[in-house]
Amino acid sequence: IRREAGTNLPVHVGELRDPKVGEKDRDVWWATLSARMGLKIANRLTEHMLIDVAEPISTWAWLKGAEYPAASLTEAWKLLLASHAHDSIDGCSLTKVAEDILGRLIDVQSMSEGMLEDACRSLVHSALLPTRARNNPPEPHLVIFNLDARPRGGLCQMEVDIPGATPVKSVR
């Protein structure tokens, strides 16, 4: 390019998103990367809840006999994707637009939490069926789900109140 243009190429030193850059050089909306960071954080948390939590555990529950929440997942995806429009998620829109996006993200989070709860309840129910057949009523159980993408080890410390259960200092 230099061979063809010679010394006529413009040279810019510094950040192109700098507000001091002249109008003719500003092809990037310099303020959008950090605009409405709360919205961007809410979006990432919502994506995580739907993609990394609700869908996989719903699939796991389906593999164990639960009904697959296809309609709920489809609706959640539509709401999430509606929040990713060109002038929406980048934060350069009106406050009303940002509030509408946040409302959709909150709806997707609620739907994802509902699917998670349904899937966990179904998995626990199917896991405890053999126990219920032997014991009426069943013994108290503590079920912990690893929602990580990899196996985990180690200790998990918590306080749990199981009505009617004998107090225990620690469980491994």
10 Å Cβ neighbour count for 23?
Answer: 5
Residue 21 confidence (pLDDT) above 70: no
pLDDT for residue 56: 93
- Distance (Å, rounded) from C-alpha 120 to C-alpha 125? 8
Residue 142 confidence (pLDDT) above 80: no
Q: What is the pLDDT of residues 53-66, one digit of tens each?
A: 999 999 999 999 99
pLDDT for residue 171: 59
Residues constituting the chain = 172
Most trustworthy range by pLDDT among 25-39, 93-107, 141-155:
93-107
Residue 26 confidence (pLDDT) above 70: no
- CB–CB of 113/76 below 8 Å? no
pLDDT for residue 10: 74
pTM: 0.68
Q: What is the pLDDT of residues 76-92, one digit of tens each?
A: 999 999 998 877 787 77
Question: Would you say the C-alpha torsion 144, 149, 153, 158 has a positive or negative sign?
Answer: negative
Instruction: Supply the DSSP string of the chain, one letter for each residue.
Output: -HHHHTT-S----S-TT-TTS-GGG--S-TTTTTTTHHHHHHHHHHHIIIIIIIHHHHHHHHHTTPPP-HHHHHHHHHHHHHTT-TTTTTS-S-HHHHHHHHHHHHHHHHHHHHHHHHHHHHHHHHHHHHHHHHSSSPPP-------SSS---S--------TTPPP-S---
- Distance (Å, rounded) from C-alpha 138 to C-alpha 133? 8
- Say which amino acid occupies 155: L
pLDDT for residue 19: 55
Mean pLDDT, residues 116-140 taken together: 76
- Distance (Å, rounded) from C-alpha 92 to C-alpha 102? 14
Find the angle CA(63)-CA(148)-CA(170) to the nearest 5 degrees: 100
Task: Read off the pLDDT band of 157 (50, 70, 90).
Answer: confident
Mean pLDDT of the chain: 81
